């Protein structure tokens, strides 16, 4: 069995929550040692040592005490779940990895974070 993974995500983001809930369901089916932390839970952030703002900007995964974020974090998570291992292999390919990182870092993650900030302003 693989080493334990911890996943930190923004459950207040409907897209993030839906995707991570899917991974949680798949990992539970296989009894994988993966813990999912909602950044909205204060204890989760304290445990991770990441600010709420940084945590809301992208997915984070911790393995063997090291924290990964963005596409490298997704790849670590996908490698652990049998149904997503092919995706991990595909996105790990050099050219695909480069493109995926650019799209996530400069398009998807900033848009999701902007949406998060907009939702927060509406709630206040």
> In terms of pLDDT, which residue wins out, 32 or 2?
32
Other beta carbons within 10 Å of 94:
7
Q: Residue 2's pLDDT band (boundaries 50, 70, 90)? A: low
Quick one: which of 49, 60, 43, 48 has its CA closest to 8?
60
- pTM for the whole structure: 0.91
**Structural domain containing residue 92:** 5-123
DSSP state of 105: I
> In terms of pLDDT, which residue wins out, 87 or 50?
87
Q: Are strands 60-63 and 66-69 parallel, antiparallel or unpaired?
A: antiparallel
Over 90: is that where the pLDDT of 20 sits? yes
**Number of independent structural domains in the chain:** 1
Other beta carbons within 10 Å of 15:
13
């Amino acid at each position: 069995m693989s080493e334990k993974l911890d996943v930190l995500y923004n459950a207040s983001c409907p897209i993030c929550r839906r995707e991570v809930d899917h991974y949680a369901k798949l990992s539970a089916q296989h009894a994988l040692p993966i813990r999912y932390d909602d950044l909205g839970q204060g204890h989760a952030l304290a445990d991770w040592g990441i600010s709420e703002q940084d945590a809301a900007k992208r997915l984070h995964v911790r393995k063997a005490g090291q924290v990964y974020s963005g596409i490298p974090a997704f790849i670590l998570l996908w490698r652990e779940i049998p149904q997503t291992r092919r995706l991990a292999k595909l996105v790990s390919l050099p050219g695909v990895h480069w493109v995926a990182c650019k799209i996530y870092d400069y398009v998807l993650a900033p848009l999701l974070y902007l949406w998060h900030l907009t939702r927060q302003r509406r709630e206040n």
